[in-house]
């Protein structure tokens, strides 16, 4: 599938103030069409506020914003006719069955008539919910509800999908199933914008990610290039009794960089052989040697403090 | 804050229709209640209490009461829908949040909710009118004009209720509105007794209450008494509805589009 030339989202100096506090503090975004774009960041980083502004659900305090060529919030209605949304909080209609949920949601887009049943069948099939058309919402598992929410977002054939933490709270099987659906949608040429806490999710799905914190974008690139640019290639995670003493006496000089987070010391280096030799002689310490990943980038950029 | 007037379009229809489809699922039990309740009131109060009251404003008490019940029911039904049901859809079920991810705007939701609550008023009042007619408490076919008036009354009270809902953080908040606004109005709008015997200040005060004006229109239509100042009464109801709609749009835009 060829990519559209025009970006899906263009933001310049985008700001959102709540009182004196800046939830989003002057960000620039160029989100290309036909790709999956990830917005990463700890709680309170400004991800959801950014998505709300993209949808025209929250007027920006400053800057300019264009989504699918529509100035936002001025043309929010026209833009939303071309966008599907999977919200963080489940808002399926509990009084309706699966198929009624889709039918009623379609009516919000002004969709009705002879083409609609066919469209509903398609999205039910895509979400693997064909057998559940007449089921009540309360009988669905968490994974099924999420897939129905995705099917609902697809009902009007959107060009752009916005997903706010789409797999939070799902079990591993349900998550895998949803990932596979999202990859299919990207392969079909749709633009996806998602927020997530799961770095593995971002690394697997997104061709481009932006790391946000305190309302600003700290870095933006492909996951591979972010890792290459910010992190030493080898990581050794060490934990166990007296890990701090061990680190101060034996390891500090053998690594390029280290982070102490909770009870684990993360050691980053180009060459970790000396470190591993030392650890091999200390059975009380447990360790994991692995290549650097997006989570390391995330922790480096956003710091180690706990966010609630 | 966005002060622009409500964006009026036919986009309210899917919002109205969604509520209608949910209501239809529980159609049986709710309709039964809609018939039984006014029947009990008219029989117990109208005939039971009526024996002691005798005539009121030159008509049997049950006849007087029937038109009061119609207006009070229109107010209560629309108010409940605009407070409790609307709040459930806004806060607990996030139904409005889902709608706002589609081409619908806050104004479409407000208009759809207002007109749905007005429809609920009609659904609750029509059986009262039918029961009253069956009991011989309605003068003639002019009483059918009550139905559009009930829609207007319901819409006005729904708009006011939606303004309150825009401030609510829990269901408990609505008790203030009931205690301070709805209950006094319920009692002091000439619904169950004429205000002639009340102090002059109360009589004047009652003139600013929308329910008073609904009663002034509905009672003559149901009892065959002469209809006076009908344009004034209509204008007051419309003014409450229009102001309520505008304010509800402003307040809910502010709450939902933060």
Tell me what pLDDT residue B16 has: 98
Tokens encoding B228: 């006076």
Q: Which residues pair with A66 in a beta bridge?
A: A10, A71
Number of separate helices (H) and strands (E) present in chain A:
11, 14
Distance CA B199, CA B206 (A): 11
Residue B247: its H or E element: helix B230-256
**pLDDT tens, position by position, A219-232:** 999 999 999 999 99
Instruction: Please name which of A167, A297, A161 lies closest in space to residue A223, comparing C-alpha atoms.
Output: A297
Distances (CA, A) of A302 to A41, A51, A195: 7, 20, 15
Q: Across chain B, what does the average pLDDT equal?
A: 94
End-to-end CA distance of chain B: 10
- 3 state SS of B132: helix
Interacting residues of B213 by C-beta distance below 8 A, sequence separation 6+: B232, B233, B234, B236, B237
- B184: distance to nearest CA of chain A, Å? 35
Q: Identify whether the C-beta of residue A8 lies closer than 8 Å to the C-beta of residue A160.
A: yes
Q: In degrees rounded to 5, what are phi and psi of residue B18?
A: -60, -45
- A20: distance to nearest CA of chain B, Å? 14
Tell me what pLDDT residue A217 has: 96
Distance CA B214, CA B199 (A): 21
B14 neighbourhood in chain A, CB within 8 Å: 104, 107-108, 110
A109 neighbourhood in chain B, CB within 8 Å: 102-103
Tell me what pLDDT residue B116 has: 98
Whether A161 shows a pLDDT value over 60: the answer reads yes
Q: Is A70 on the interface with B (CB under 8 A)?
A: no
Residues in chain B: 258
* Displacement of CA A25 from its chain's centroid (Å): 20
- 3 state SS of A4: coil
Distance CA A221, CA A219 (A): 7
Identify the burial level of B13 via C-beta atoms within 10 angstroms of its C-beta, where 0-12 means exposed, 13-18 middle and 19 or more buried.
middle
Q: In degrees rounded to 5, what are phi and psi of residue A10?
A: -125, 120
User: Cα Rg for chain A, rounded, in angstroms?
Assistant: 22
Q: Identify whether the C-beta of residue B109 lies closer than 8 Å to the C-beta of residue B15.
A: yes
For the full predicted model, state whether its pTM sits above 0.90.
yes
Instruction: Please name which of A214, A216, A217, A201 lies closest in space to residue A294, comparing C-alpha atoms.
Output: A201
**Banded model confidence at residue A306, pLDDT cuts 50, 70, 90:** low
Whether B30 shows a pLDDT value over 80: the answer reads no
Kindly tell me the sign of the dihedral angle through the C-alpha atoms of B63, B65, B71, B73.
negative
**pLDDT tens, position by position, B153-197:** 999 999 999 999 999 999 999 999 999 999 999 999 999 999 888
Q: In degrees rounded to 5, what are phi and psi of residue B185?
A: -65, -40
- 3 state SS of A68: coil
**Banded model confidence at residue A2, pLDDT cuts 50, 70, 90:** very low
Tokens encoding A119: 């469209």
Q: Do B102 and A55 touch (CB under 8 A)?
A: no
Q: Is A299 on the interface with B (CB under 8 A)?
A: no
**pLDDT tens, position by position, B63-120:** 999 999 999 999 999 999 999 999 999 999 999 999 999 999 999 999 999 999 999 9
The mean pLDDT value for A59-64 works out to 96
Instruction: Please name which of A259, A271, A264, A262 lies closest in space to residue A296, comparing C-alpha atoms.
Output: A259
**Banded model confidence at residue A1, pLDDT cuts 50, 70, 90:** very low
Interacting residues of B170 by C-beta distance below 8 A, sequence separation 6+: none
What percent of chain B stands above pLDDT 70? 100
Closest-approach residue (CA) in chain B for A52: B257
**pLDDT tens, position by position, A194-225:** 999 889 999 999 999 999 999 999 999 999 99
**pLDDT tens, position by position, B220-231:** 999 999 999 999
Q: Do B98 and A93 touch (CB under 8 A)?
A: yes
């Amino acid at each position: 599938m060829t990519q559209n030339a025009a970006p899906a989202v263009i933001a310049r100096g985008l700001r959102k103030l709540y009182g004196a506090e800046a939830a989003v503090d002057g960000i620039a975004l160029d989100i290309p069409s036909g790709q999956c774009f990830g917005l990463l960041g700890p709680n309170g980083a400004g991800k959801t506020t950014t998505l709300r502004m993209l949808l025209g659900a929250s007027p920006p305090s400053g800057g300019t914003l264009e989504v699918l060529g529509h100035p936002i919030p001025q043309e929010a209605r026209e833009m939303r006719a071309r966008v599907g949304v999977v919200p963080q909080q489940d808002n399926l209609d509990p009084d309706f069955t699966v198929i009624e949920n889709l039918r009623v949601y379609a009516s919000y887009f002004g969709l009705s008539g002879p083409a609609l049943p066919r469209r509903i069948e398609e999205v039910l099939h895509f979400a693997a919910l064909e057998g559940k058309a007449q089921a009540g919402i309360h009988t669905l598992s968490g994974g099924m509800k999420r897939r129905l929410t995705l099917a609902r977002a697809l009902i009007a054939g959107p060009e752009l999908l916005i997903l706010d933490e789409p797999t939070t709270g799902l079990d591993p099987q349900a998550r895998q199933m949803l990932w596979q659906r999202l990859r299919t949608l990207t392969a079909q040429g749709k633009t996806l914008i998602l927020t997530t806490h799961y770095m593995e999710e971002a690394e697997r799905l997104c061709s481009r990610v932006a790391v946000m914190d305190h309302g600003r974008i700290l870095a933006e690139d492909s996951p591979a290039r972010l890792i290459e640019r910010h992190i030493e290639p080898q990581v050794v995670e060490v934990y166990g009794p007296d890990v701090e003493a061990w680190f101060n006496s034996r390891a500090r000089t053998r690594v390029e960089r280290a982070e102490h987070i909770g009870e684990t010391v993360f050691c980053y280096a180009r060459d970790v052989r000396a470190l591993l030799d030392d650890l091999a002689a200390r059975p009380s310490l447990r360790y994991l040697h692995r290549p650097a990943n997006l989570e390391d980038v995330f922790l480096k950029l956003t710091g180690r403090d706990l966010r609630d | 804050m966005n002060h622009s007037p409500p964006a009026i379009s036919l986009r309210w229809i899917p919002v109205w229709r969604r509520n209608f489809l949910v209501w239809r699922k529980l159609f049986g039990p709710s309709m039964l209640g809609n018939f039984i309740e006014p029947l009990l009131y008219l029989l117990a109060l109208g005939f039971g209490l009526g024996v002691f009251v005798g005539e009121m404003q030159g008509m049997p008490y049950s006849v007087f009461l029937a038109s009061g019940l119609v207006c009070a029911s229109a107010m209560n039904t629309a108010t409940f829908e605009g407070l409790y049901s609307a709040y459930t859809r806004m806060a607990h079920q996030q139904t409005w949040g889902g709608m706002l991810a589609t081409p619908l705007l806050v104004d479409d939701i407000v208009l759809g909710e207002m007109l749905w609550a007005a429809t609920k008023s009609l659904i609750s009042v029509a059986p009262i009118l039918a029961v009253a007619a069956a009991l011989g408490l309605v003068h003639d076919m002019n009483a059918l004009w009550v139905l559009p008036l009930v829609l207007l009354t319901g819409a006005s009270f729904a708009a006011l209720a939606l303004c309150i809902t825009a401030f609510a953080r829990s269901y408990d908040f609505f008790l203030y509105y009931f205690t301070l606004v709805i209950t006094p109005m319920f009692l002091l709008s000439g619904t169950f007794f004429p205000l002639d015997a009340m102090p002059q200040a109360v009589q004047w005060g009652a003139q600013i209450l929308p329910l008073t004006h609904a009663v002034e229109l509905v009672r003559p239509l149901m009892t065959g008494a002469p209809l006076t100042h009908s344009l004034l009464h209509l204008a007051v109801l419309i003014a409450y509805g229009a102001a309520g709609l505008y304010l509800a749009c402003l307040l809910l835009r502010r709450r939902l589009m933060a």
